[in-house]
Amino acid sequence: MRQVDHFIVGGAGGTASRKHSIWNPSTGEVQAEVALGDAAVLQRAIDAAKKVQPEWAATNPQKRARVMFEFKRLVEAEKQALAELLASEHGKVVEDAHGDIQRGLEVIEYACGIPQALKGEFTPGAGPGIDVYSMRVPIGIGAGITPFNFPAMIPMWMFGMAIAAGNAFILKPSERDPSVPVRLAELMLQAGAPEGVLQVVQGDKEMVDAILDHPDIAGVSFVGSSDIAHYVYKRGIAAGKRVQAMGGAKNHGIVMPDADLDQVVNDLAGAAFGSAGERCMALPVVVPVGEDTAERLKEKLIPAIHALRVGVSTDKDAHYGPVVTPEHKARVEQWITTAEEEGGEIVIDGRGFTLQGHEKGFFIGPTLIDRVTPQMKSYQEEIFGPVLQIVRAKDFEDALRLPSEHQYGNGVAIFTRNGHAAREFASRVNVGMVGINVPIPVPVAYHSFGGWKRSGFGDTDQYGMEGLRFWTRVKKVTQRWPDGGGDGSNAFIIPTMG
């Protein structure tokens, strides 16, 4: 069986005593095994990172940028193969896997501009003969702990900025789809990053704890579910590190009575069901404002959802593929049952769905649940599956309150033709990323990404200038160059050639 190992200097070495199975969610078969590392594996990676990091930080930023350019070129050249590998472990369709890689590459493109971003600040004449300057220097060794749902994009969000800024980086990807992260690290080496600048350690909680406790790791970036994000945040800062920890989500789409409903339905089909709903920026809750809007929307949603095609990840015509593991399939189906028991109206039921010829795959049919209320557990928690819930709001204020008061605050969208309503909504809603007639408002690479409340612990976002701030610290220099002691003995001498 195919084995996936660590990517650390000197080779993985030894045989891992613990391993984790990697599924092919489309076939329901185990296709590979990944080693689960421990503190000793991490220590070897840290020894290598410590050795190389000063040299990498001293490499001029333009040369570091050239490595990022070359890395981008290599990833692009191999994109199809990477997308197929990613889709085979995750379950998302290959086209979606291309998007996963592309969004990561956009952060790499931003990181190619590192010389400009790192220029720093300078004040001449802050006092008599005194200049003050501030420079951004790398924090040293950074670590990233990433979720299964974007195995290319999220690692690139983190290591793109960290490495360009002059850090060494240790990535701990999800044990469910760890192959693409390893390949990315190989390509970074091929692109010219010295050995040890980007390493991958595989593992689960044991490895995460070793990372959080290690005194030589200066910063940890985490993306995953909220309880674990909170745990990582607390344990990391207790060990004296800087930590940013992005958590789960329950994004709402507010539909005002004047919205273009055909557009909304089209957007929802992709945003609620794309990637089987396994996106932190998915739109699993739709909030029509007013009963009339709710009825009109529902009437259009039902045929659109029935038209969705579920298929294996290589099916070019499929809208979405299987979910990631059998346990996750069972959990999502249980949430649908919970919603039913709580009084939700199951309009379209995706439980018990099987795909002909792929009966063992982890497929769930698209599901629509109406008459969901804020008191229901299935509304309060993240489902992370192809399930769309309708929560009816009586007016704008009622709709604004729902995402604002929800425990998660990652993304939200409003659909309207009314500029005033949109503006009011964007300024008042208590959520980190807002879309106006944009269902998945993931900010472009030169802004930054991050949710609020239980969707994000810590005080910096991913990528953009916020990402750069996280992976650097500021050194402030106050300088004065006296022109001598007044008797001419120490007068300024211009050196001459020869």
- Residues marked active site are found at 280
410 touches ligand NAD (CB under 6 A): yes
Question: Which residue's CB is nearer to ligand NAD, number 225 or number 437?
Answer: 225
Q: In the stretch 369-388, what mask flags binding to ligand NAD with x, by CB under 6 A?
A: -------------x-x----
Q: How many CA atoms lie within 13 A of 283 on its CB side?
A: 29
305 touches ligand NAD (CB under 6 A): no
In the complex, the smallest distance separating the C-beta of residue 429 from ligand NAD, rounded to whole angstroms, is 17
211 touches ligand NAD (CB under 6 A): no
In the complex, the smallest distance separating the C-beta of residue 150 from ligand NAD, rounded to whole angstroms, is 6
Name the segment binding ligand NAD (CB under 6 A); options: 50-58, 142-150, 314-322, 415-423. Answer: 142-150
In the complex, the smallest distance separating the C-beta of residue 296 from ligand NAD, rounded to whole angstroms, is 30
277 touches ligand NAD (CB under 6 A): no
Gap between the Cα atoms of 307 and 330, Å rounded:
24
Pairing relation of β-strands 19-24 and 121-127? unpaired
Q: With contacts defined by CB under 6 A, how many residues of the chain interact with ligand NAD?
A: 26
Name the segment binding ligand NAD (CB under 6 A); options: 145-153, 354-362, 421-429, 471-479. Answer: 145-153
Question: Which residue's CB is nearer to ligand NAD, number 392 or number 406?
Answer: 406
205 touches ligand NAD (CB under 6 A): yes
Name the segment binding ligand NAD (CB under 6 A); options: 7-15, 168-176, 264-272, 391-399. Answer: 168-176
| Cα 372 to the center of its chain, rounded Å | 28
**Token digits of residue 193:** 């990053």
Assess contact for 14 and 41: CB atoms under 8 A. Answer: no
In the complex, the smallest distance separating the C-beta of residue 438 from ligand NAD, rounded to whole angstroms, is 17
Question: Which residue's CB is nearer to ligand NAD, number 315 or number 461?
Answer: 461
Strand order in the sheet with 433-436: 345-348, 367-370, 387-390, 285-288, 252-255, 411-415, 433-436
| Long-range CB contact pairs, 348-354, < 8 A, 24+ | 348/302, 348/305, 348/306, 350/386, 350/387, 353/310
149 touches ligand NAD (CB under 6 A): yes
The secondary structure of residue 118, as a DSSP letter, is T
Among 175, 315, 333, 370, binds ligand NAD (CB under 6 A): 175
**Token digits of residue 378:** 């299935």
Question: Which residue's CB is nearer to ligand NAD, number 169 or number 384?
Answer: 384
Gap between the Cα atoms of 498 and 482, Å rounded:
26
In the complex, the smallest distance separating the C-beta of residue 295 from ligand NAD, rounded to whole angstroms, is 31
**CB neighbour class for 151 (10 Å; exposed up to 12, middle 13-18, buried from 19):** buried
411 touches ligand NAD (CB under 6 A): no
Name the segment binding ligand NAD (CB under 6 A); options: 26-34, 143-151, 181-189, 396-404. Answer: 143-151
Residue type present at position 190: Q
**Token digits of residue 236:** 């990391």
Among 22, 35, 161, 280, binds ligand NAD (CB under 6 A): 280
φ, ψ of residue 379 in degrees (nearest 5): -85, -40
Closest CB to ligand NAD belongs to which residue?
224
288 touches ligand NAD (CB under 6 A): no
Please list, in sequence order, all residues whose beta carbon lies within 8 angstroms of the beta carbon of residue 310, skipping any fewer than 6 positions away. 318, 319, 320, 321, 353, 355, 363, 364, 365, 366, 386
Among 16, 156, 249, 388, binds ligand NAD (CB under 6 A): 249
Question: Which residue's CB is nearer to ligand NAD, number 7 or number 396?
Answer: 7
144 touches ligand NAD (CB under 6 A): no
204 touches ligand NAD (CB under 6 A): yes
**Token digits of residue 317:** 């015509």
The secondary structure of residue 193, as a DSSP letter, is P
| Long-range CB contact pairs, 466-469, < 8 A, 24+ | 467/107, 467/157, 467/158, 467/161, 468/117, 468/118, 468/136, 468/161, 468/165, 469/136
325 touches ligand NAD (CB under 6 A): no
Q: How far apart are the first and last CA of the chain?
A: 68
Window 219 to 248, contacts with ligand NAD (CB under 6 A): 223-225, 228, 246-248
428 touches ligand NAD (CB under 6 A): no
Gap between the Cα atoms of 211 and 471, Å rounded:
16
In the complex, the smallest distance separating the C-beta of residue 177 from ligand NAD, rounded to whole angstroms, is 9
16 touches ligand NAD (CB under 6 A): no
Among 378, 448, 455, 460, binds ligand NAD (CB under 6 A): 455
Gap between the Cα atoms of 64 and 337, Å rounded:
52
Residues at the site binding ligand NAD, with contacts judged by CB under 6 A: 145-150, 172, 174-175, 204-205, 208, 223-225, 228, 246-249, 280, 382, 384, 410, 451, 455
